[in-house]
Amino acid sequence: MKRKTIIIVSTVVALAVCVSAIAAIPSKEEAAAASPAMEAAATPTVVRANVAVKPVHASQLTRTVRVNGITLAKKDVTYAAQTAGRLEYVGADIGDMIKRRKTLARVDYKTQRALEMQAQASYRLAEATHARMASLGADLVSAQKLDEARYAMQGARANLDLATANAANAVVKADTRGEVAEKFVEKGEFVAPGTPLFRVVDTRTIVVEAAIPESQIDAITTGSEVTVQIDALSSTYTGIVRTIIPKADPASRTFTVRVDVENADGRILVGMSASLQIDTNTLANVIKVPQELVIEGTDGRYVYVVHNDRARKVPVTLGDTDGDEVVITRGIVLNDMLVTFGHRNLTDNQPVNIVDQPIAMVAPSVAN
């Protein structure tokens, strides 16, 4: 009896399990409704990035040579004594502006002037003696006496010329206007020929001297304009290439170029650092992009362009730089839609949303 009861209970439990399983099987309608949701859950999420773009257009590139130099005075003259003696007069001091023909110093001038006057008197006597003897005629004066008088007159004339030159050399005058940059002596000192007295610089025109690499010297011509930047003055000037020294420095393989810069206000001083920007030639129809748009990857340099609402990774070859831009010589072409914002986080073939204002960009959206 007990065994029969157990069999009946087991049968009831088995029937209950079967009924529950059958009830759990969805109908065709339920299965159809659930299928899209299951597929959506199984499909990976695709992020659509927000980017800004602009069409690639042609530009021009002006190639330049940039070098550093130093400022010099157009005229820089050191005046020295030409005769020996005591400095009787010193007519300038450091910082003085002097004009042309200004007397800077006199060296023992009184003595030299006295010697000149003495030589002049001797010459006049010799000249008068020769004239008087020549007027007497051959009957009263022998030919030898007349020759001696003529030679004495010529010697006196030579002594006068020498004394006059010494007197002139005793006075040191400026050959040009300028400013006294250095003073080497004081009144009363004894000087010898060649002793430096003053250094005078004329800074109305400044010369910037710079070294140009051998590889770039062929692109520079005399008379061309140069942009000169004086950092100490925070100012930019226009200069003219006046001289290209036709001999290279054997160690650095550079050529010296001298550029004239007008300095009417006197702000540019001698010895200042200057940078030169010399335009060499201009190229038309080149493609330039901001350097920040070029990405450095392990597989090279590339940019992103948009095509059919997808970002395309394009390898590029770079050329010259122009400020914060760089020339693209290979890779992108005119009218490509270059990604200008959001490019750092893109992947190749990623869907994108094009947004006009980069600053208004919101978080990337999810593609449906």
**What local confidence, expressed as pLDDT, does residue 273 receive?**
95
| Band of pLDDT at residue 12, cut at 50, 70 and 90 | very low
Asked whether the beta carbons of 55 and 356 are under 8 A apart, the reply is: no
Q: Which two tokens stand for residue 191?
A: 């000087």
User: Rounded to the nearest 10 degrees, how much is the dihedral formed by the CA atoms of 149, 154, 155, 160?
Assistant: 130
Report the mean per-residue pLDDT for the chain: 84
Chain region(s) in the chain for CATH 2.40.30.170: 66-72+202-280
| Band of pLDDT at residue 30, cut at 50, 70 and 90 | low
What does the pLDDT average to over 324-339?
A: 90
Going by DSSP bridges, is the β-strand pair 178-183/97-98 parallel, antiparallel, or unpaired?
Answer: antiparallel
Instruction: Specify the pTM.
Output: 0.57
Q: Is residue 78 pLDDT above 50, yes or no?
A: yes
| Band of pLDDT at residue 17, cut at 50, 70 and 90 | very low
Q: Which of the listed CATH numbers 2.40.30.170, 3.30.465.10, 3.90.1010.20, 3.30.565.10 matches domain 66-72+202-280?
A: 2.40.30.170
Chain region(s) in the chain for CATH 2.40.420.20: 48-61+285-366
**What local confidence, expressed as pLDDT, does residue 140 receive?**
79
**What local confidence, expressed as pLDDT, does residue 179 receive?**
92
What does the pLDDT average to over 306-310?
A: 92
Q: What is the pLDDT of residues 180-232, one digit of tens each?
A: 999 999 999 999 999 999 999 999 999 999 999 888 888 788 998 899 999 89
Q: Is residue 120 pLDDT above 90, yes or no?
A: yes
Is the model more confident about 62 or about 360? 62
Please report how many Cα atoms fall inside a 13 Å half-sphere around the Cα of residue 212, on the Cβ side.
28
Q: Which fold has domain 48-61+285-366?
A: 2.40.420
| Band of pLDDT at residue 29, cut at 50, 70 and 90 | low
**What local confidence, expressed as pLDDT, does residue 32 receive?**
53
**What local confidence, expressed as pLDDT, does residue 18 receive?**
46
Q: Which amino acid is at 321?
A: T
What does the pLDDT average to over 244-270?
A: 92
Going by DSSP bridges, is the β-strand pair 273-286/171-173 parallel, antiparallel, or unpaired?
Answer: unpaired
What does the pLDDT average to over 116-123?
A: 94
Q: Tell the residue number behind the tokens 């730089």, with chain if given.
A: 321
3-state secondary structure the chain: CHHHHHHHHHHHHHHHHHHHHHHHCCCHHHHHHHHHHHHHHHCCCCEEEEEEEEECCCEEEEEEEEEEEEEEEEEEEEEECCCCEEEEEECCCCCCEECCCCEEEEECHHHHHHHHHHHHHHHHHHHHHHHHHHHHCCCCCCHHHHHHHHHHHHHHHHHHHHHHHHHHHCEEECCCCEEEEEECCCCCCEECCCCEEEEEEEEEEEEEEEEEECCCHHHCCCCCEEEEEEHHHCEEEEEEEEEECCCCCCCCCEEEEEEEEECCCCCCCCCCEEEEEEEEEEEEEECEEEHHHCEEECCEEEEEEEECCEEEEEECEEEEEECCEEEEEECCCCCCEEEEECHHHCCCCCEEEECCCHHHCCCCEECC
C-alpha dist (Å) from residue 142 to 134, 136, 231, 295: 10, 10, 83, 108
| Band of pLDDT at residue 39, cut at 50, 70 and 90 | low
**What local confidence, expressed as pLDDT, does residue 344 receive?**
87
Q: Is residue 7 pLDDT above 60, yes or no?
A: no
What does the pLDDT average to over 320-342?
A: 88
Quick one: what percent of the chain has pLDDT higher than 70? Answer: 84
Q: Is residue 66 pLDDT above 80, yes or no?
A: yes
